[in-house]
Structure 1
Amino acid sequence: MSNQNSIITELLQFFPDRRLQMYFKSSLTALSHAMEDQVLAGNEEALIIASFQKEKFYRQEAHRYLRIGKKSRHVYVLAAPETEFKHNSDVYEKIAFAPDDSLTMEWHLIVISPNYANCLICREKPYSNSENSSESLMMMDNSRRFEGIWTYDREISVKAAELLLYRIAEYRPELQAKIQDAIASYCADFCALEETNNIINPDPFVQRLVTYLQAGQYKLIKANRFLSAKEKKERLLNSVTGAIRRSLDPEEILQVAVDKLGEGFGVCRCLIYRCQENDLNAHINHEFLNENINSVKGEVWPLKNNPLFQEILSLRESISIDDVTIDPRIQKDPTILSKLIKSCCIVSWLIVPILYQGKLLGMMELHHCDSNPITWKPEDIALVDAIATQVGVALIQAESYAHLEDLNEQLEALDRTRSNLVAITGHELRTPLSTIQVCLESLANEPDMSEELRQVMLTTALHDAERMRKLVQDFLTLSQLESGRVEWNPEPLSLEECIELSLCQIRSRKDKNSLPKIRININQTLPLVQADGEWLVEVLSKLLDNACKFTNGNGEIVINVEEKNNNILKVTISDNGRGIEPDRLDKVFDRFYQEEGALRRSAGGTGLGLAICRQIVNNWGGKIWAESQGKNQGSEFHFTIPVFNNDSISSSKNN
């Protein structure tokens, strides 16, 4: 059995002019104790009816009602049972109402005696959906809110007592006679009692007391909300800091920060993008969106002509705009900003720079896109500033780590270079030195050696000495090129003449019988080129030498020159020799790189020739690259060279 009718609703039907007031639990507790203490301090019997919503609230006051029950035989206590509470007649009457009864949401206390009467009739007011649910959960129990009536009006108190006594009779019919006695003793002829007794109405004093309690509770709620908001902000800052510090990837840092910031502030859109002071535009790569908000990810954000961006650069601090429709900065220069505001549906705007030691690293933007503008609170702006500072530190740490990784890779490359240098130099120097030593020892110790053999020994020693000279020269040349100590003398040159000079060098150093066939395809109408003749011949000689080294005598080398445009010629030296594996084409220009390995080569060399070629070609602003279909498929080496013109002369002189 349960009753869905609210006592306070029924009472208002009899007194429609009464207005409900709002009370906090702490206020109701104080009022209830005052009413109970009045009974305990007096000597008259009174009718006391107390409804406690649930058993757990009754247990907090049970000791008081043991004392009150000894003062009067008409004490009725109601509660919804949870563990032990049940119908019982002992020191006072217990009434256990159904858990779905409307009384579970109500708080009632009625005290009626011959000389005074008062009642407290309230129902709990749930938090509205508009309030922050997480905040509601954190509210203290004393901040629970009730709406109802507290009065010393005997008429209202009697009517409230009758309504509750009828509800008690429904749950405990065996108390019907006792309830009728209570009604006859305390609820009849209340007007006559009021006229025959000199009753002092304490209502004004109690109202002031209630007002004082209510004001104190409001202050307490305000303090709780402030502490809750502060804790929420600190928790947000700590969560963002912890999340971004767990990563050393700048992209991941920015995405975590934009997600945490957007969720923490509940804004419609949150953006974080990288930019520097002199950037013309920024690309939006990191974005947080709430539902039904259009995305701007991937779009280009204008910076150079953006007055807000320029203001941030000058002030080095955040900019907040509560309402874009009335902000003077936007009204002053609406060209770019109005377009952004319209496309992004921005109503309220917060822009915070990400700075590290005064250097701009990026921007944070918070967009409110609802129809009604909001006011950016100073404490919220300060929190976003603090988060931006943490993001800036994390970005610098991530970049420092990336630079450290690059340095480690460079050190590893230098270590490999050193190992290659030791291995190649040792091998390349030891071999000719051993040959020279053997030849010289033979000449010194064999006086009877034939003239023909003596000549062979001398020729061999001279050949290996030249080989050593070339090795040392390559080291010195590359060192000069890399250190920038070379003096360049560009001039207009005939590319055909340079090719002929390089071929003469190759033929003078190689055995004619072992040289592959070399064919030249050059258009006689080609323009002159702008380069240092000595170094251009060096590039051609080394590329031709490299082609001859890996092409047998039956093969063919082709030199081809074509005009790419009015300013550039492309030179190609191709062969049908050994070829290069496609995955090694980018490595062949590294210092000391040799496809067969430093100590397992069928062809001699230091592995510096192509590195020298790259340094020379880069100096005149050209490009050099290799192409090959794979092993035994031949190879092609290409490089570009600028065509002679007056502008190239001016540029070369300036260099």
Structure 2
Amino acid sequence: MSRSKSVLAKLLQIFPQLQPQMYFKASLTALSHAMEDQILAGKEKPLVIASFQRERFYRQEAQRYRRIANKTDQVYVLAAPENEFKNSSQNYETIAFQSTETLSKEWHLIVIGMGYVSCLVCQEKVILNNQTINPVIDNNRRFEGIWTFDRRVAQHAADILLNIIVDYCPELKNKIEQARQKYLPPPVLNQIIIEQKDIKNNTAWKIENANPDPFVQRLVTYLQAGHYKLIKANRSLAAKEHKERLINSITTAIRLSLNSEEILQTAVQKLGKGLGICRCLVYRCKETDDKATVEHEFLNQDILSIKEQVWFLYDNPLFQEVIKLQGALTIDNTTNDPRIINSRKGKKETLQTLVKNYSILSWMLAPILYRGQLLGMLELHHCGPRPISWKEEDVTFINAITTQIGVALIQAEAYAHLQDLNEQLEALDYTRSNLVAITGHELRTPLSTIQVCLESLTLEPDMSLDLRQVMLNTALQDAERMRKLIQDFLILSRLESGRVELNTEVLNLNECLELSLSNIKALYREKQIPRIETKSFLNNRLPLVKADGEWLVEVLAKLLDNACKFTSKEGKITIEINQNSPHYLEVTIADTGRGIETKKLETIFDRFYQEEGALRRSIGGTGLGLAICRQIVQGWDGEIWAESKGKEHGSQFHFTVPIHLT
């Protein structure tokens, strides 16, 4: 039995001159109580028709209507049932209409007596998403309707509602007919003056209403004004609460991570969604940077992406102004902002170009700072269709967000530094352990040998000359071993402390290589070493290099010594020199020895690294040779690295030397 038109719509169709007004729920409650109090205070027996949206609203007024029923037998109450409400004729008539009925969105109270009338007909206002505000929890619901003392309007409204009652309760037809005869006759002329005018075949009706109660009129005006202020305050509080929750949400989310990239991505996503902005982006930058790359972005709907784009900062007036402000900068309308209109024309990408290409209509730039240090920039882009006006509370909110991001970034960087320190401490502990082990092995062993040899020479005067020579040679060899160990310690210490000054000079790389080969042959003069080959490129003319000759020979000798140690005498060592860059020569020393595990290719350049372990090595050495090579090569801005396919697949050591440019 659902109806398409509300009572209000039907009345406005009959009386088009009526002007509906906006009422709040509290205002309608006050009006309804005033109309009901007029019945209870008087002696008349009027017709009373009240329509409630839901049973729960009726229950709040049931006691009043039982008192009204003691005054008159013509009381009709309509409501959509929820629990117990139904058609009944106990104290007064109750009519239960369907919840789909248009009455479920209306509020009516009509009182018609012999000496006075009062009519309140309203329909609940629908909000933008086509759903009414929850009537249970929101006391600020809005209604559109009319409140009048016009008998003719009240009679028509009563007639419409009585017809609905008959449809739901046919058994009340006789009682309603009696009400019609008593309360709905044609209006008396001295109560209403009707003037009919014919304007272009249209009939315009002017109705002079009786003046409403001045006190009630003032009460309604006061309530309306109060509710407007209350709604404005509630909106302000709701906006502040939303922003507080958003700040807390972003702060909590970014504090869960100690990764700078995750922090920025989380912040930009949550902020963009929370504000409903068209585009939100964050990028890292410093005050002295010429440009920055947009790394994190939030997009709303079909907005063009800026991610991975280069954002030019040099001579950018907006960027410079943000640096001076140390706070957010807002542009309400980019189409008439002089800083954008007058941006430098000779640049590759002007602000006008950015605004046009990326549809930026309203713009906010906020620096991410920590103790005055610029860590990055947060930007909000509104892309239309109309510009927006940034408010002071918006700027305060964004500044609070950027402050939290700045703190989180510093914490993340501090944690990263702490991790680096921990790794350095672990490396130092590893170095200390290796130093102790190597010192014990490389110093104690030769010292013990020297001591045994010297004691034997002292205590055995009858020892043969040949045996004495063997003892002396052994002592000398171990003394040389100790000398090299101490020398490596001193060299690395000097290199790492920066106390070594490289005497760069123009050198012939072939000559340095020949010197290093001579050193290796002298070192292994009593041992058989692998075959050493050089590539044919050595026979060609090489460009001169610029380096310290002594240290260059040291690097070549140590790499060749290393290859000889880990390659069997049946193996092969290859030396190759190539020019893969206009500024550097690349030297490669490859062997067919035992090879290196892929995961250890970086570790082998650490101090005291021993592949086999310090206490179970089959080949002597301090583990400082490659560390010394790295320090020397880095001293002339070169690079050194190793390659290997794994165990028993040989290895290749590469380093670069700068070319002398004439």
When normalised by structure 2's length, the TM-score is 0.91
Inter-partner Cα distance in structure 2 for 1:609 and 1:551: 16
Inter-partner Cα distance in structure 1 for 2:652 and 2:2: 97
Inter-partner Cα distance in structure 1 for 2:654 and 2:169: 107
Counterpart amino acid of 1:638? H
Inter-partner Cα distance in structure 2 for 1:552 and 1:442: 35
Inter-partner Cα distance in structure 1 for 2:97 and 2:585: 101
Q: Deviations 1:462-511 (Å, cap 9, x if unpaired)? A: 11111111111111111111111123323334444433433443333333
Q: 1:573 to 1:22 in 2, by over 3 A?
A: closer
Matched, 1:603 2:613: no
Counterpart amino acid of 2:552? L
Inter-partner Cα distance in structure 1 for 2:580 and 2:458: 59
Inter-partner Cα distance in structure 2 for 1:84 and 1:556: 102
Deviation at 1:12, TM superposition (A): 2.9
Residue 176 of structure 2 aligns with which residue? 179
Deviation at 1:214, TM superposition (A): 1.1
Inter-partner Cα distance in structure 2 for 1:346 and 1:57: 50
Inter-partner Cα distance in structure 1 for 2:312 and 2:343: 14
Counterpart of 1:601 in 2: which secondary structure?
coil
Inter-partner Cα distance in structure 2 for 1:593 and 1:325: 65
Q: Stretches of 4+ moved more than 6 A in 1?
A: none
Matched, 1:384 2:394: no
Asked if 2 retains the 8 angstrom alpha-carbon contact of 1:623 and 1:639, the reply is: yes
Residue 615 of structure 1 aligns with which residue? 631
From 243, 262, 267, the counterpart of 1:257: 267
Counterpart of 1:373 in 2: which secondary structure?
coil
Deviation at 1:206, TM superposition (A): 3.3
Asked if 1 retains the 8 angstrom alpha-carbon contact of 2:502 and 2:635, the reply is: no
Matched, 1:592 2:608: yes
Residue 337 of structure 2 aligns with which residue? 327
Q: Mapping of 1:248-287 within 5 angstroms?
A: 248-287=258-297
Asked if 1 retains the 8 angstrom alpha-carbon contact of 2:267 and 2:405, the reply is: yes
Matched, 1:145 2:161: no
Deviation at 1:182, TM superposition (A): 2.0
Inter-partner Cα distance in structure 2 for 1:244 and 1:136: 35
Asked if 2 retains the 8 angstrom alpha-carbon contact of 1:151 and 1:203, the reply is: no
Inter-partner Cα distance in structure 2 for 1:520 and 1:80: 102
Asked if 2 retains the 8 angstrom alpha-carbon contact of 1:2 and 1:97, the reply is: no
Residue 113 of structure 1 aligns with which residue? 113
Deviation at 1:122, TM superposition (A): 1.5
Q: Mapping of 1:533-552 within 5 angstroms?
A: 533-552=549-568
Deviation at 1:342, TM superposition (A): 1.4
Inter-partner Cα distance in structure 1 for 2:388 and 2:76: 53
Deviation at 1:551, TM superposition (A): 3.2
Counterpart amino acid of 1:623? E
From 123, 140, 155, the counterpart of 1:158: 155
Residue 594 of structure 2 aligns with which residue? 578
Deviation at 1:262, TM superposition (A): 0.8
Inter-partner Cα distance in structure 2 for 1:39 and 1:427: 113
Q: 1:261 to 1:644 in 2, by over 3 A?
A: closer
Q: Deviations 1:158-180 (Å, cap 9, x if unpaired)? A: 23223322322232233233222
Residue 624 of structure 1 aligns with which residue? 640
Residue 164 of structure 2 aligns with which residue? 167
Residue 185 of structure 2 aligns with which residue? 188
Counterpart amino acid of 1:313? I
Q: 1:93 to 1:426 in 2, by over 3 A?
A: same
Q: 1:155 to 1:603 in 2, by over 3 A?
A: same
- The structure richer in helix per residue is 1
Residue 82 of structure 2 aligns with which residue? 82
Structure 1 stretches of 5 or more lacking a match? 647-655
Tell me which moved more, 288-297 or 390-399.
Answer: 288-297
From 412, 418, 428, the counterpart of 2:432: 418
Q: Deviations 1:430-459 (Å, cap 9, x if unpaired)? A: 211121121112112212111111111111
Residue 358 of structure 2 aligns with which residue? 344
Q: 1:468 to 1:27 in 2, by over 3 A?
A: same
Deviation at 1:520, TM superposition (A): 5.1
Q: Mapping of 1:223-302 within 5 angstroms?
A: 223-302=233-312
Inter-partner Cα distance in structure 2 for 1:627 and 1:147: 83
Matched, 1:502 2:516: yes
Counterpart of 2:484 in 1: which secondary structure?
helix
Counterpart of 1:267 in 2: which secondary structure?
coil
Tell me which moved more, 73-82 or 459-468.
Answer: 73-82
Tell me which moved more, 557-566 or 622-631.
Answer: 557-566
Counterpart amino acid of 1:390? Q
Q: 1:424 to 1:368 in 2, by over 3 A?
A: same
Inter-partner Cα distance in structure 2 for 1:440 and 1:87: 125
Counterpart amino acid of 1:290? N
Matched, 1:48 2:48: yes
Deviation at 1:13, TM superposition (A): 3.5
Deviation at 1:50, TM superposition (A): 1.2
Tell me which moved more, 446-455 or 205-214.
Answer: 205-214
Q: 1:622 to 1:22 in 2, by over 3 A?
A: closer
Inter-partner Cα distance in structure 1 for 2:238 and 2:231: 10
Inter-partner Cα distance in structure 1 for 2:8 and 2:321: 61
Asked if 2 retains the 8 angstrom alpha-carbon contact of 1:269 and 1:290, the reply is: yes
Residue 501 of structure 2 aligns with which residue? 487
C-alpha RMSD of matched pairs (Å): 2.5
Structure 2 stretches of 5 or more lacking a match? 193-208
Counterpart of 2:53 in 1: which secondary structure?
strand
Inter-partner Cα distance in structure 2 for 1:565 and 1:334: 39
Inter-partner Cα distance in structure 2 for 1:583 and 1:194: 104
Q: Mapping of 1:551-570 within 5 angstroms?
A: 551-564=567-580, 567-570=583-586
Q: 1:108 to 1:479 in 2, by over 3 A?
A: same
Q: 1:183 to 1:362 in 2, by over 3 A?
A: same
Inter-partner Cα distance in structure 1 for 2:648 and 2:95: 103
Asked if 1 retains the 8 angstrom alpha-carbon contact of 2:80 and 2:104, the reply is: yes
Matched, 1:430 2:444: yes
Tell me which moved more, 295-304 or 595-604.
Answer: 595-604
Task: State how many pairs are aligned.
Answer: 640
